[in-house]
Structure 1
Amino acid sequence: MSQSNEHARPLISYRTEEVDGLNIFYREAGPKDAPTLLLLHGFPTSSHMFRDLIPLLADRYHVVAPDYPGSGYSDAPSHTAFRYTFDHLADIIDAFTRKLGLKRYALYAQDFGGPVGFRLASRHPERVTAIFVQNAVAHEEGLSDGFDTARRLWADRNAQTEAAMRRHLSIEDTRGQYLFGAKDPARISPDAWTHAQNGLDRPGIAEAQIDLLHDYQSNLKQYPHFQAYFREHQPPMLITWGQHDPFFTLAGARAYAGQLPKAELHIFDGGHFLLEDHAEEVAALMREFLGRTINI
């Protein structure tokens, strides 16, 4: 017996695009003539973090979620052959959007996706229709004591500070990032941290990620620039926040209001990777927000 397609789950395609000599993997779903949502992942994950969110949006939106170089299924050149910096990641994703012909898009930024996405937005404000911030900061008050190991690395990169940071790339720490602060840890799929750790354990990836974590200090220097972009352009912003995030504080979530008084903030009983157990709630907020702000 045939079944109606009225409530069919949107199909997701898994593709690669050559960008500056690298194969950039991405997930894509939804009609290409619909408004685009560009989903930018955090650390230590990849576009895999959006596996539950994409089907909840792709019936109405064109959803694109790339993996950065060194993450997920994208090429992972040696850190001696590729500059693992946030400026360079933004360059690659910027070129990726041009290759795909994405002229306008709403940004979803989580963790590393914040400094990558905010660089794109401040470079090309005319392209950004809205910004969804999920546990990503643009203000120093958003950085918790969880950054102490990184701060020591920033102050003096040496064998000891690198070794301390390398311990944060272990399976114990990766699992903890997903489980800490979750209202019900039994709802967090082990697939999440297993997938992330498999990526971290590839040859050369630890060195690449330590380069990136060392470069994270460059984002702090960009915060005034990001804030100036917010003040001048007033992009519609929806903030969803797991309040038990061990790295990014609620003060960082609330700080956006200083530049964007109309920004909407929704605080959840969750952790750093909020989509692991709150994807449906976040998707519902996004759909309602987009309906009001970009008039679809």
Structure 2
Amino acid sequence: MRVRKQISVILILISSSFSFLLQSSAAEPTSYPVKHQIVQIEGLDIFYREAGPADAPTLLLLHGFPTSSHMFRNLIPELSDKYHVIAPDYPGFGFSSAPSVDDFEYTFANLASIMEKFTEQLQLNKYSLYLMDYGAPVGFRLAVQHPERVETLIIQNGNTYQEGLDNPFWEPIKAYWQDRTPAQGNKLRSLLTLDATKWQYTTGVRDVRAISPDTWGHVQPLLDRPGNQEIQLALFFSYGSNPPLYPEWQAYLRKYQPPTLIVWGKNDQIFPAAGAYPYKRDLNKLEFHLLDTGHFALEEEGTTIARLMRKFLSQHTDTAQ
């Protein structure tokens, strides 16, 4: 009798362990490899990273300056089990074509036009927008043009308000808006050096040792390509076309009320936290987080941002699995 009881206990333990293993296996997210692809838009090679099931809610990640879709290299795998994640490089950035300023008009309106054609060629009819830095003026142009396509917004250090643009970083750029001369442009070339790139990645972070040199190791050689400084100077000047559109973008927020997640590096000296607070004026469905890090918040707070995004998106996207 005692032997039978022992055997019964062992069988129960084995059954429980097997059930636990099955549950654990089922709980593990499906791993989707990141694909690195190129699509032709108006004769340009537009490089993009893509992962996740094609029938899942789409996340369109729009990068900042001076980086590319490389800034999302760690975020994409964190989300691709439940979302169709796409991160393109603008012309002149990353692995996309970088024609000279004589052959391509480097304005934010034109970058947005290329991105609009990109979404249409990939048949992205509905998406959430991740807007960071340059991604904000590109993405808000898309949103105003096609509000029916935007499911949610995730905004990380990207301005739509005048607040936050009154700091020392912007002073020489604003002078260039008023006086587009070679002399004024030359004053901005220091923003394209290795020291300036490192400064963007490391200023305001809690622990500089947590910031991989793979960041500026990727960015700087691309900035140093022949002709690329002229591309960046053209975009510095074109950034002046964005603030006059802020009232239109704010009106879009008030009218359409897209559910919005703010995940903002509060120690950023380019787009400081002062630029984050005004979103509260216009949005009713706003989740607001200031993170104790700098401009490229994903480098130090990527895990936190991914967690916040998963929770937010599960509440506000139509078919999250």
TM-score range, shorter chain: over 0.9
The superposition leaves residues 48-106 of structure 1 with CA deviations (integer Å, 9 ceiling, x where unpaired) of: 00001000000000000000000000000010110000000000000000000100000
Q: Distance in 1 between matches of 2:53 and 2:279?
A: 32
Is it true that 1:39 corresponds to 2:61 in the alignment?
A: yes
Moved more, 161-170 or 37-46: 161-170
Q: Distance in 1 between matches of 2:30 and 2:280?
A: 39
- Verify: 1:283 aligned to 2:283, yes or no: no
Superposition map of 1:41-120 within 5 A? 41-120=63-142
**Mapped partners of 2:166, 2:44: distance in 1:** 34
The AA in structure 2 aligned to 1:166 is R
Deviation larger for 154-163 or 182-191: 154-163
The 5 A counterparts of 1:200-219 are 200-219=223-242
- SS of 2:39's partner is strand
Secondary structure, aligned partner of 2:159? coil
Q: Give yes or no for the alignment of 1:133 onto 2:155.
A: yes
- Aligned partner of 1:20 among 42, 61, 65: 42
Distance, in Å, in 1 between the alignment partners of 2:29 and 2:179 is: 55
| Runs (5+) with no aligned partner, structure 1 | none
Q: Any idea what SS the aligned residue of 2:245 has?
A: helix
Return closer, same or farther for 1:7/1:60 CA change in 2, 3 Å cut-off. Answer: closer
Deviation at residue 8 of structure 1 after TM alignment: 5.7
* Cα distance between partner residues in 2 of 1:23 and 1:56: 27
How do residues 214-229 of structure 1 correspond to structure 2 at under 5 angstroms?
214-229=237-252
Deviations 1:188-236 (A, max 9, x none): 0000011111110111111011000101010001101100100100001
1:164 aligns with 2:175: no
1:262 shift after superposition: 2.7
Distance 1:23 1:108 in 2: 22
Q: Is 2:269 aligned against 1:246?
A: yes
Please state if 1:294 is matched with 2:317.
yes
* Equivalent-residue separation in structure 2 for 1:251 and 1:236 (angstroms): 21
Q: Distance in 2 between matches of 1:249 and 1:233?
A: 26
On the 8 A contact 1:52/1:279 being kept in 2, the answer is yes
**Structure 2 regions of 5+ residues with no counterpart?**
1-24
What is the RMSD of the two structures over their aligned residues, measured on CA atoms?
Answer: 1.1
More off after superposition, 36-45 vs 194-203: 194-203
Specify the code of the residue in structure 2 equivalent to 1:194.
G
Query: Looking at CA atoms only, which structure, 1 or 2, has the larger radius of gyration?
Result: 2
Describe the superposition over 1:86-136 as per-residue Cα deviations: whole angstroms up to 9, x where unpaired.
Answer: 000000000000000100000000000000000000100000000000000
Deviation at 1:7, TM superposition (A): 4.9
Counterpart CA distance in 2 for 1:42 and 1:33 is 27
Superposition TM-score, scaled by structure 1 size: 0.97
The number of residue pairs the alignment matches comes to: 293
Q: For residue 89 of structure 1, what is the amino acid of its counterpart?
A: L
State the alpha-carbon separation in 2 of the partners of residues 74 and 294 from structure 1: 30
